Amino acid sequence: AGPETIKTVKTTCPYCGVGCGVLAQVKEDGSVAISGDPEHPSNFGRLCSKGSALGETLSLDDRLFFPEIEGAQASWDEALDLVADRFTQAVREYGPDSVAFYVSGQILTEDYYVANKLMKGFIGSANIDTNSRLCMASSVAGHRRSFGSDTVPGTYEDLESCELLVLVGSNLAWCHPVLFQRVEAAKAANPQMRVVVIDPRETATCAIADLHLALKPDSDVALFNGLLAFLSEAGALDQAYIKAHTNGFEDAVASAGACEINRIAEATGLARRDLATFYTMVARTEKTVTVYSQGVNQSTTGTDKVNAIINTHLATGRIGRAGMGPFSVTGQPNAMGGREVGGLANMLASHMAIENPKHRAIVQDFWQSPVIAEKPGLKAVDLFRAARSGKIKALWIMATNPVDSLPDADGVADALKACPFVVVSDVTRAADTVGYANVLLPAAAWGEKDGTVTNSERRISRQRSLLDLPGETRPDWWQLSEVACRMGFKEAFDYSGPDAIFREHAALSGYENRGSRDFDISALAGLALSEFDGLEPVQWPQPSGMGSGEETRFFANGNFYTPDRKAAFVATKVKEPRETGRRFPFVLNTGRIRDQWHTMTRTGKTPRLAAHIAEPYVEIHPVDAKQSGIDAADLVEVKSPYGAVTVRAQVTEKVQKGTVFVPMHWTDQVASQARVDAVVAPETDPFSGQPGSKFTPVAIRKK
Ligand code: SF4
């Protein structure tokens, strides 16, 4: 028999946006055994390789235990006083927009809430952005353009109960594995179900595809505009839904043009027969769900891609009903929670809009704050550009590693060198960003911190602490609150714990709301500490008492969050593909692998996960490899105007000619010259500010 279990704690996996429930058994010898929570309605006991290995990643070897100022150990009082002083001084001398926070989809909703409140309501700037900008900002922008709100209409069940599942820019098998397992099981149980994978690469997800459309990079708008035209010409529209619940259909169809298969085939690189098969499948299948992820979002046309997809669902009335709808799957565990509290530079708390004076007044009144940010702040890429040019005088980075993960990563390092005062809150010394901190604050890690997260289907789950805080580590909400108090805002930030923050967040969601916004969890605003501790996973809008109380979807009967409660079709136009050119003739695509997470600071701790893929690599088509004199396993330099990596060649037909793929995880601490975001161009979508991390012109050569 193994060591005895001291306690079993129900918590949530800290990795992807599926948001799986986890049972953590803490053993008498200090080890932690992990299994899936059979009662969690998002995973029903399932876990993937990363989630199952959580117990192996809890070692304290690399942890930060004490605050540091300029590399020397300091007390919390010294560090917090200094942070408060420097932020106050910058605001006084240069104004509120001279300071910024860059936070993360890894922090909990309560941390996010406090950071957003401090920056927007008390400092008076909206310069708070998050690594979620790299993840799903284009979906947020697309949702808001179509629905008037950042609402995901459907639920995971829809992916199981549909008859046609269209996966666009989503390697679900590796990036959202438990959702993939659910789809696999549903497909096995329902032989009628069809899966179409739309991805320039042949990924592991293609194993369940009835049709794989390997379209040209960034040609999704052409594909979905063509679908809208086809649906229109085939008489497959829901005219009643269009008339009752939408505006702008005629313009969108006019913008899509005629369904000329030859033209669409040319624009997308797809065979006419495959296009016709796909379009006919969609036209004939009412129960259609379109899932989209980073292949859609991480693009300089990401927002248009999202709207081109949503247009096809509005046109057919296939939205918000069982087995139907557009569905954005987020990358991170709490990207949705961050959106709920307004943790992006262009949002306000509780899904309110920063551009809306009424919303600003509601939030300011609720917070009783001295100011409220009046315009959107700097989005991630622009924020670091501003730091590089000297405009940001004090920057606080929390739970993210931009020196490795933002595009033009070397430019980000330069920005941190140029910024006079950089605070980094993190758990580990293995994050390269830590090396640029003037003040380093040791944070509580997964297994130690306590609060809530919201997954891709709007389900709020508790992340509970199971281990004591090591050394002098403290949760992020505490660090932020302590600084806020020292900046003179004690009354508004005197929180007793995450439960108090959650209650305030829930109360704000219902404040002056009365059904005018999608996000309302005010029914949870009265939770006592013990009720917060025991909170079961809950999916909004259920807890607000809106609708029937059973309703888990939005928009089956319209009622969008626009002024006239109608959805807006967006007239999307096909843009000319970006140029590659003679010096940088290949298109670099980046993405995740199955068993690593972000910059590997946690998953890199277990050899079991490293066994899947041990080193960074570049996928190259055999024709390109031959022309470049590259053989399998050669070391290859992949270079753009921004930087270069040296990685091992995998020669494979899984990528298209003229394109290469490099995974995003490796940092210089793990493998030398493998930081691929140093190569990625910092080009962004004009609406969402999300970088196009899947399209950088590069050159390749054998080393
Ligand atoms: Fe964690 Fe995502 Fe795997 Fe679930 S699917 S166990 S949330 S990484």
**DSSP states of 582-640 as a string?**
SSS-EEEEEE--TT--TTSTTGGG-HHHHTT--S-EEEE-HHHHHHTT--TT-EEEEE-
Instruction: Find out whether the peptide bond into 541 is cis, omega within 30 degrees of 0.
Output: yes
In the predicted model, is pLDDT for residue 197 greater than 90?
Answer: yes
Count of alpha carbons within 13 Å of 315, Cβ hemisphere only? 31
5-57 sits in which CATH class?
Answer: alpha beta
Residue range 558-572, pLDDT digits in tens: 999 999 999 999 999
Q: What is the per-residue pLDDT for 547? A: 42
How many angstroms is it from 403 CA to the middle of ligand 1?
25
What mean pLDDT is predicted for residues 385-398?
98
**How many angstroms separate the CA atoms of 426 and 418, rounded?**
21
Residue with the nearest Cα to atom 2 of ligand 1?
A: 16
Residue 581 pLDDT grade (very low, low, confident, very high; cuts 50, 70, 90): confident
Ligand 1: which of 47, 180, 332, 453 to mutate, most ligand atoms within 8 Å of CB? 47
The structure tokens 């270069």 sit at 644
| Torsions phi, psi for 356 (to 5 deg) | -95, 110
The structure tokens 């390109």 sit at 624
In the predicted model, is pLDDT for residue 546 greater than 50?
Answer: no
Are the C-beta atoms of residues 442 and 21 closer than 8 Å to each other? Answer: no
How many angstroms is it from 450 CA to the middle of ligand 1?
19
Q: Is the pTM of this model over 0.90?
A: yes
Q: What is the per-residue pLDDT for 549? A: 44
Residue 586 pLDDT grade (very low, low, confident, very high; cuts 50, 70, 90): very high
Q: Verify whether ligand 1 is closer than 6 Å to residue 178 (CB atom).
A: yes
What H or E segment, with its residue span, contains residue 283? helix 272-284
Count of alpha carbons within 13 Å of 335, Cβ hemisphere only? 26
Q: What CATH number is given for 586-702 in this structure?
A: 2.40.40.20
Q: Which atom of ligand 1 is nearest to the CA of 16?
A: 2
What mean pLDDT is predicted for residues 541-550?
53
What mean pLDDT is predicted for residues 502-528?
93
Residue range 361-379, pLDDT digits in tens: 999 999 999 999 999 999 9
Are the C-beta atoms of residues 178 and 46 closer than 8 Å to each other? Answer: yes
The SS3 of residue 231 is helix
Q: What is the per-residue pLDDT for 544? A: 52
Q: Enumerate the β-bridge partners of residue 348.
A: 352
Are the C-beta atoms of residues 84 and 486 closer than 8 Å to each other? Answer: yes
What mean pLDDT is predicted for residues 582-594?
96
Q: Which atom of ligand 1 is nearest to the CA of 18?
A: 7
In the predicted model, is pLDDT for residue 291 greater than 90?
Answer: yes
Q: What is the per-residue pLDDT for 550? A: 52
How many angstroms is it from 551 CA to the middle of ligand 1?
26
Give the start-to-end residue ranges of the domains of the chain: 5-57, 68-135+334-495, 137-329, 586-702
Ligand 1: which of 12, 16, 598 to mutate, most ligand atoms within 8 Å of CB? 16
**How many angstroms separate the CA atoms of 229 and 225, rounded?**
6
How many angstroms is it from 423 CA to the middle of ligand 1?
30
Distant-in-sequence, close-in-space partners of 95: CB < 8 Å, separation ≥ 6: none
How many angstroms is it from 569 CA to the middle of ligand 1?
34
The SS3 of residue 165 is strand
C-alpha separations of 244 from 227, 228, 555, 558 in Å: 22, 19, 12, 8
Q: What is the per-residue pLDDT for 543? A: 55
Q: Which atom of ligand 1 is nearest to the CA of 48?
A: 3
**How many angstroms separate the CA atoms of 448 and 108, rounded?**
12
How many angstroms is it from 174 CA to the middle of ligand 1?
10
Q: Which atom of ligand 1 is nearest to the CA of 177?
A: 5
How many angstroms is it from 290 CA to the middle of ligand 1?
21
Q: Verify whether ligand 1 is closer than 6 Å to residue 51 (CB atom).
A: yes
How many angstroms is it from 20 CA to the middle of ligand 1?
6
Q: What CATH number is given for 137-329 in this structure?
A: 3.40.228.10
Q: Verify whether ligand 1 is closer than 6 Å to residue 16 (CB atom).
A: yes
Q: Verify whether ligand 1 is closer than 6 Å to residue 466 (CB atom).
A: no
How many angstroms is it from 283 CA to the middle of ligand 1?
33
**How many angstroms separate the CA atoms of 633 and 531, rounded?**
56
Give residue 656's identity as a one-letter amino acid code. Q
**How many angstroms separate the CA atoms of 663 and 168, rounded?**
19
Residue 668 pLDDT grade (very low, low, confident, very high; cuts 50, 70, 90): confident
How many angstroms is it from 491 CA to the middle of ligand 1?
38
**How many angstroms separate the CA atoms of 473 and 63, rounded?**
9
What mean pLDDT is predicted for residues 677-689?
97
Residue range 322-351, pLDDT digits in tens: 999 999 999 888 978 999 999 999 999 999
3-state helix, strand, coil in the chain (%, to 5): 35, 20, 45
In the predicted model, is pLDDT for residue 211 greater than 60?
Answer: yes
Q: Which atom of ligand 1 is nearest to the CA of 47?
A: 6
Ligand 1: which of 12, 15, 52 to mutate, most ligand atoms within 8 Å of CB? 15
Q: What is the per-residue pLDDT for 444? A: 98
* Least trusted range by pLDDT, from 452-456, 473-477, 516-520: 516-520
Q: What is the mean pLDDT of the chain?
A: 95
How many angstroms is it from 429 CA to the middle of ligand 1?
24
| Token pair listed for 416 | 């941190």
Residues of the chain with pLDDT > 90, as a percent, come to: 93
Q: Verify whether ligand 1 is closer than 6 Å to residue 19 (CB atom).
A: yes
| CATH architecture for residues 68-135+334-495 | 3-Layer(aba) Sandwich (3.40)
Q: Verify whether ligand 1 is closer than 6 Å to residue 50 (CB atom).
A: yes
How would you label 62-80 residue by residue, b for 16+ Cβ within 10 Å and e otherwise? ebbebbbbeeeebebeebb
- Checking ipTM against 0.95, whether it exceeds it is yes
**How many angstroms separate the CA atoms of 398 and 100, rounded?**
11
Distant-in-sequence, close-in-space partners of 548: CB < 8 Å, separation ≥ 6: none
**How many angstroms separate the CA atoms of 308 and 569, rounded?**
9
Taking Cα atoms as reference points, which of 419, 390, 384, 420 lies closest to residue 403? 384
C-alpha separations of 16 from 70, 172, 405, 446, 484 in Å: 34, 11, 16, 13, 30
